[in-house]
Structure 1
Amino acid sequence: MNLLAKLPTIAATIYRHLYRDGSSVGVIDSNKDWSANFCQMLGYDDPLFVELMRLYLVIHSDHEGGNVSAHTSHLVGSALSDPYLSFSAAMAGLAGPLHGLANQEVLVFLTKLVGDIGHNYTEKQLREWVWNHLKSGQVVPGYGHAVLRKTDPRYTCQREFALKHLPNDPLFKLVSNLYKITPDVLLEQGKAKNPWPNVDAHSGVLLQHFGMTEMSYYTVLFGVSRALGCLSQLIWARGMGLPLERPKSHSTEGLMKLAKAAKSSNTQQ
C-alpha cells in the first residue's frame, strides 16, 4: 500500500520535470480517488480524461502471469524479495521495447499510414496499404496476442469509451476502419494465429486525443497501472505459500533431439 500510494506522485513528478515547468505536483486531495489525484498531479483536470485514466489504470494492471513484467514480479517475489524489489524487476522488464513500447509503435504506424494516404481514404485504399505494408515484411502493430484468440476485451472497452466520447476523432476513425479490414487481411495472409486487435491498438490514440502526446511517457503510465496487479498478486502468492519458481531447462543433447524432431516433421510435411 505504501508503494501504491507513492507511485502516482513519483510518476507525476517525472512528467512535470520532463514535459512541463518542473513545478510541484501539489497536495493529495483526500476527496478524490487514486486516478483523479494522479490526473490532478499530472496537470489534467478534464473529467473525461480522469474517467479515461480510471479505465486505463484498471485494464493495464494485470493480464495473467505470462507477460514479461507480471511474470518477472512473480519470479522475484517467489524468492521472498520485498515488494519494492519485485516491482523494480517488473519495471526492468517493462522497459524492454518488445513489451513496453507497443502502443507507441501503433501511433508511429498510424502516423505513417496517414502520411501516405491521408484521412480521406477509401476502404480499398486502406486495405491495399495494409497489404503492401505486410508484403514489405512488416507487421501490423496492435494486432495479435500470445494467448487470446479473439478481440482483446481491453481493446473493446476502450473502443466503447471512444464511441461514446470521441466518435469523430480522426485517429479513432482510422483505428475503427483498421478494425474492419485488418483481421480479414491477416487471415487471408495466413500467418497470424490471432488476427484481432489487442489493448495496444487503441490506448495511445485515446491519450493523444486528450493532449497527452508525450509518447515516451506512456510506458511510465503502464508501469503505474501494472503496480496494481503485480503487488496484489504478490500478496496472493505469499498468502498461498507459493514456492520458489524454478523453470525447467534443456541440455544441449535435449535441444538437439528437439531440433531433429522438428526437422523430421517438416520433411514429412
Structure 2
Amino acid sequence: MLAVRSSVARSFASATRVAGVRHASTKTIQDTLAEIIPERQAIAKELRSQHGSKVLGEVTVEQVFGGMRGIKAMLWEPSVLDSEEGIRFWGRTIPECQEVLPTAPGGKEMLPEAMFWYLLTGKVPTAEETVQFQNELVKRSVLPSHIESTLDALPKTLHPMTQFVIGVAALNHDSKFAAQYKAGMKKADYWVPTLEDSLDCVAKSFTIASRIYRNTYLGGAKDMPALQMDKDLSFNFANQIGFGDSEGFVDLIRLYNALHTDHEGGNVSAHTAHLVGSALSDPFLSYSAALAGLAGPLHGLANQEVLRFILDMVKEIGEGASNEKIVEFIWSTLKKGQVIPGYGHAVLRKPDPRFMALQQFGESRPEVAADPVFGYVNALYKTAPAVLTEHGKTKNPFPNVDAASGSLLYHYGLKNFDFYTVTFGTSRSMGALSQVVWDRALGLPLERPKSLSMGAINKLIGSPLSNV
C-alpha cells in the first residue's frame, strides 16, 4: 500500500510542477462526465424497462414509524453502505481509495479533490487530472463581493451553521442552472449547468466556512489570508482560519474531508439535497437545505458530544486512567440513562472504517498518540464495545467516525465546538452534489413518496383497532 501511494504522490508532485499546462491526454471533469453519462443512462433505461416491476423489498409498520430505516427506495450512485463492511465508494473501500487516490505534494492523505472527481465519475483521476481539477476548484472558490458583505453583516453570535446556510443559499444569485432553466433548455442538458453550480458550491463552501470562522472567532475577515491558487482547498481552508503552518492539521483536514464526503443517500443531509434538488431547485438551494439538516443534533453534532464526553471523563477520572476505571465510568454513564456518544450507527454493525482511518492517522503521529484526549479514544475503543454488549441495549456496540474526529481537531487547536459541523458541511457537499448531478443526468423525477395516517395503516393491515 505504501509503495502504491508513494508512486501516486510522486506522480502528483511531478504534475504539480507543470500545473499550468493542459496535457493532451488530460480530460476535464466536464469531458469525462460527457463520456460516462450515456453509458449510465443506458443502464438505467435497461433496468427500468426490463426489471421495472421487480420487488426490492417490503415495508413494515415499524419502518413507517421508525424513520423509514432500511427501506430500499432511493437511487444513490457514488456510495453504498454495507452493515458489515462499511462504506464503498463506487465499489471501493476506504483503504482501497487511500491506495489509489492522489495525495498532495508532501502530504500523506488522499486529496478531497481526487475523491470528489471519483464520486462524480466512478473513475480514479490521474495525477494530471487531479492537479487540473484542483486548480479549477480553487479558482472557483473566490467569493463574490455580495457574499462577503452578506456574511460580514451577520451577527457574530449567530450559530456558524446558520451563517453557513445563509451563505450557501445566497450563492443562488449566480446560479447557472436557474438562469438557463428560466431561459429554456432541454431536459437532457440539465446536468451541464447543474455540474457547474455544484463545482462552484463545493469550492465556495470552503471559503465561506473560512470567512465564518474569522468573523465569529477572530474578530473579522479584514486580515483573512488570500487564496493560494497553487494549493488545494483543504490547505487554503486551514491557512485562512489560522492553521496553515501546521502540517499535521492540514493533512488531517484533507483526510477528514475525503472521509466525510459521502455515506450513501439515506442520511439527513444527503437525502435533503436529493429531495430539494428533485424539485429542480438549483444546487445552492439544495445544499443549503442539506446544511440545515446537518445542523441538527442527531446528525452533524455527534463529534462535539463525543469530545465533551471525553473531556468530562478526563475531569472525573484524570489522565491515563486504567481500563478498569474507564469501564466504571462507562457503566456509571449508562446507569444514569445516558448513551456513550460515538458508539453505534443506524446501519453499521461493525467498527466504522472512517473511524479506523482517523484512528490510524492519530496513531501514526507521535504528537497525537501522546495526547491524553486521543489516548481515551483508543481506550474507549478497547473497552466500550464489551460493556455495551453486556448492557444489551445497543445494536452496534462499535465506534463510528465521530468517536475520533473531534479529538483530532481538538488536538491541533481547533477548539470551537460549534464550528465542527461546518467542517463536516464543506466535506459533505462533494458527495451530496455528486448525486444531484447524477439525478439530473439520469432524468430522475420529483420525489413524492406515499404517506399514510395511522387510520390508513390500520385499514391496510386489517387491524381490529377501532379508535384510530
TM range (shorter): over 0.9
- Kindly indicate whether residue 242 of structure 2 is the aligned counterpart of residue 43 of structure 1: yes
- Give the CA deviation at 1:203: 0.5
SS at match of 2:445: coil
The one-letter code sitting in structure 2 at the alignment partner of 1:13 is R
Task: Give the TM-score normalised by the residue count of structure 1.
Answer: 0.93
Q: Match of 1:30?
A: 229
Match of 1:12 among 196, 210, 216: 210
- Kindly indicate whether residue 269 of structure 2 is the aligned counterpart of residue 69 of structure 1: yes
Q: Match of 1:90?
A: 290
Q: Match of 2:301?
A: 101
Contact 1:68 1:94 in 2 (8 A): yes
SS at match of 2:319: coil
Give the Cα separation in 2 of the matches to 1:252 and 1:66.
Answer: 24
Identity of aligned residues (%): 54
- Give the CA deviation at 1:26: 2.6
- Give the CA deviation at 1:260: 9.5
Give the Cα separation in 2 of the matches to 1:186 and 1:259.
Answer: 36
Contact 1:9 1:25 in 2 (8 A): no
- Give the CA deviation at 1:144: 0.4
Q: Match of 1:171?
A: 373
- Give the CA deviation at 1:251: 2.5
Give the Cα separation in 1 of the matches to 2:227 and 2:267.
Answer: 32
The one-letter code sitting in structure 2 at the alignment partner of 1:139 is V
- Kindly indicate whether residue 437 of structure 2 is the aligned counterpart of residue 235 of structure 1: yes
Give the Cα separation in 2 of the matches to 1:98 and 1:75.
Answer: 19
Q: Match of 2:98?
A: none
Contact 1:94 1:219 in 2 (8 A): yes
Give the Cα separation in 1 of the matches to 2:314 and 2:345.
Answer: 25
Match of 1:198 among 392, 397, 400: 400
- Give the CA deviation at 1:258: 8.9
Q: Match of 1:125?
A: 325
The one-letter code sitting in structure 2 at the alignment partner of 1:43 is G
Match of 2:455 among 253, 256, 266: 253
Quick one: structure 1 residues 113 and 74, their matched pair in 2 at CA, closer, same or farther if it must change by over 3 Å?
same
Contact 2:320 2:372 in 1 (8 A): no
- Kindly indicate whether residue 281 of structure 2 is the aligned counterpart of residue 81 of structure 1: yes
Q: Unaligned stretches of 5+ in structure 2? A: 1-198
- Larger relative contact order (CA 8 Å, sep ≥ 6): 1
Give the Cα separation in 2 of the matches to 1:120 and 1:52.
Answer: 24
- Give the CA deviation at 1:259: 9.9
- Give the CA deviation at 1:256: 4.0
Question: Aligned pairs, how many?
Answer: 262
Contact 2:381 2:399 in 1 (8 A): yes
Quick one: structure 1 residues 259 and 143, their matched pair in 2 at CA, closer, same or farther if it must change by over 3 Å?
farther
Give the Cα separation in 2 of the matches to 1:240 and 1:53.
Answer: 33
| Structure with the greater alpha carbon radius of gyration | 2
SS at match of 2:394: coil
- Give the CA deviation at 1:257: 6.4
Q: Unaligned stretches of 5+ in structure 1? A: 264-269
Query: Deviation string for 1:87-142 (max 9, x for gaps)?
Result: 01101111111112111111111111111111132111111110111011000000
The one-letter code sitting in structure 1 at the alignment partner of 2:383 is I
Query: Deviation string for 1:14-53 (max 9, x for gaps)?
Result: 1111111323323221211111111111111211111000
Give the Cα separation in 1 of the matches to 2:334 and 2:458.
Answer: 33
Give the Cα separation in 2 of the matches to 1:145 and 1:81.
Answer: 31
Match of 2:382 among 164, 177, 180: 180
- Alpha-carbon RMSD across the aligned residues, in angstroms, is 1.7
Give the Cα separation in 1 of the matches to 2:433 and 2:358.
Answer: 24
Q: Match of 1:266?
A: none
The one-letter code sitting in structure 1 at the alignment partner of 2:311 is T
Q: Match of 2:347?
A: 147
- Kindly indicate whether residue 219 of structure 2 is the aligned counterpart of residue 21 of structure 1: yes
Give the Cα separation in 2 of the matches to 1:117 and 1:254.
Answer: 53
Task: Give the TM-score normalised by the residue count of structure 2.
Answer: 0.54
The one-letter code sitting in structure 1 at the alignment partner of 2:405 is S
Contact 1:144 1:196 in 2 (8 A): yes
- Give the CA deviation at 1:236: 1.1
Give the Cα separation in 2 of the matches to 1:44 and 1:185.
Answer: 38
- Give the CA deviation at 1:147: 0.6
**More helix by proportion, 1 or 2?**
1
Give the Cα separation in 2 of the matches to 1:211 and 1:136.
Answer: 32
Q: Match of 1:157?
A: 357
The one-letter code sitting in structure 1 at the alignment partner of 2:239 is Q
The one-letter code sitting in structure 2 at the alignment partner of 1:60 is H
Contact 1:102 1:142 in 2 (8 A): yes
